[in-house]
Every structure is written in C-alpha cells, then in structure tokens.
Structure 1
Amino acid sequence: MTYFIATDHAGFSIKDHVKEFIRQKGHEVIDLGPASADRVDYPDYAHELCQKVLENRESAGILICGTGIGMSITANRHKGIRAALCHDAYTATLTRMHNDANVLCMGERVVGLGVVDSILEAFLSTPFEGGRHACRIGKIEQE
C-alpha cells in the first residue's frame, strides 16, 4: 500500500518518525512536504494530499498538524475523502472498521510518539468491515 504524508510546521517534527514506522510495516511512503519546519499553511498540504489519494485509489493519506483539526476539516471538503482525526488506537481502529477512512489526521501537540505508534498500527492493520457500514459509506458519498 502507498501512503502519502503531509504536515504543516506544527506537525513537522514527527513526520520522519511516522514515515519510518510505515516503511517498517512494508509500505511505500510518499512525502508531500513541507521540507522544513518553517511556517506554512496547512490547507495547501491537505488539498494536495487529498488529490493524490483520490487519483491513486489503492492509497491512503496521513496528515499531521498541531491538533489535527485543521487538516481534518480541510481534507473532508474533498468528495471521496473520509478523513478521521484520531487521538488513540481505539478511534483509529473503528474509523477503519466502520468508516473506511482513507486519510488519518493526527495532532503532534496532543499525542506522544507512543500513542502515534499505536494509532498508526491500528490504522494500517485494520480492514473495513463492510456490511451495514458499506451502506452508510454510500450515504456519505451521496450529494
């Protein structure tokens, strides 16, 4: 599986850790930036990542900012993106099982590295259950 990753300046310092974790699980990671911790606007990176995920249906995305809120709001503006802001492994598991989330959002300022690892483990390893949840996903995608 290919994972696109993008942050803003407030999520930059854990990006390399997240990339390495995903690579160690045998997945490809494509870094969409930024290249430094200099101030940037999170919507620019969230929009780019969502476009890449939509163009590459066998992929998913990871967005990180200070709280994860701005990234998740921006990502969910894209039809076909189901971005979930997760603060623990339980929410990451359920968002994959029940919502088939294709973008994980996290806040660097609100979760520690150990929690980040547990969120990533859950998000990367949990399949979508389908069934009654597939019907609900269909309703989300309706306009």
Structure 2
Amino acid sequence: MVADHNAVRMKARLGAWLTDRGHEVDDRGVRDEEIVDYPLLCEDLCAQIVSGPAQLGIVLGGSGSGEQMACNKIRGIRAALCHDTFLAEIARGNNDANVLVMGAKVIAPDAAERILRVWLATPFRGGRHAERVEMIMALERGESLRR
C-alpha cells in the first residue's frame, strides 16, 4: 500500500482496517504530508506485484487520476480508479484489476473502506472477461487487435 502526501491519513486508516481483518500490509508510502512525486511510489508498489512478493496493491493519492495513469504504464499492472463499490466490483470481477487506486480528496474514509471491502471480496469472473483481459495485455505488449 502506498499513499502520497494527500492521502497519508486515509492510508493509516485503511492499513489498520486491513490489519484488523487479518491482511498483511506492506506500507511503502510516505508517513507525513511532505510533498512527494507519486510516480515514484506507484513504480515501487507495482514492482512488488510484477516481481511476485505481492498479488494486489492499493495506491492512494489526491484524486487518484495520475496514480492510475502511472501504474498502468507498468507492464503487468491493471490499475483501476474506483470511486464507488460498483466500479470496485467491475474492476476486480470483469477486469481482474491488481491495483486499486482511490483519491482521498474525492472519497470519504467510510466509503473508501466499503470500496476496499468489495474490491477484495470480488473474485475475477473469467470466461469472456478473461478474453478481454488478454486483449488488454496484448495491447500492453504492443500487439494490434485489428484483424
């Protein structure tokens, strides 16, 4: 889990929430509100997923928009910016998202907990969705989907 200076409080709250529910939390973000460049944090967290120690990651920022863009530049990452539980369910269930991105300036802390709960509880549905995820991965590899 990482957070930039905009989301330090949310990271602390969600980290405690996860720990209380038996999840192991690797807090790789900042611990104070000193301004930091979020792409560095995104790269660090995503490297943990791509190289194997972590299966899923959580990135918190101000809006989450830039963080999502940065994460999705890394091969093997499917980061989803989720502002509600519907998006969280679709991101995991249909898109097999491996990084949840939320914006602390956009989402209330209680809503962030609900979003995280749904995201963690939703399994990937596979089937036709697996075919679409493979298409996304093909685009990531620079392959054309045009027939």
- TM-score, structure 2 normalization: 0.91
Aligned-pair distance for 1:60?
0.5
- Three-state SS of the structure 2 residue aligned to 1:27 is coil
Matching residue of 1:125: 121
Matches of residues 1-143 of structure 1 in structure 2 within 5 Å?
5-56=1-52, 59-142=55-138, 143=141
Which of these two proteins has the greater Rg computed from alpha carbons? 2
Identity of aligned residues (%): 39
Structure 2: runs of 5 or more not aligned: 142-147
Aligned-pair distance for 1:24?
2.1
- TM-score, structure 1 normalization: 0.94
For the aligned residue pairs, the C-alpha RMSD in angstroms reads 1.1
Runs of 4+ in 1 over 6 A off after TM superposition: none
Query: For 1:56 and 1:17, how far apart are their aligned partners in 2?
Result: 26
Structure 1: runs of 5 or more not aligned: none
Query: For 1:106 and 1:113, how far apart are their aligned partners in 2?
Result: 10
- Three-state SS of the structure 2 residue aligned to 1:141 is helix
* Aligned residues between the structures: 139
Structure number having the greater strand percentage: 1
Query: For 2:85 and 2:52, how far apart are their aligned partners in 1?
Result: 26
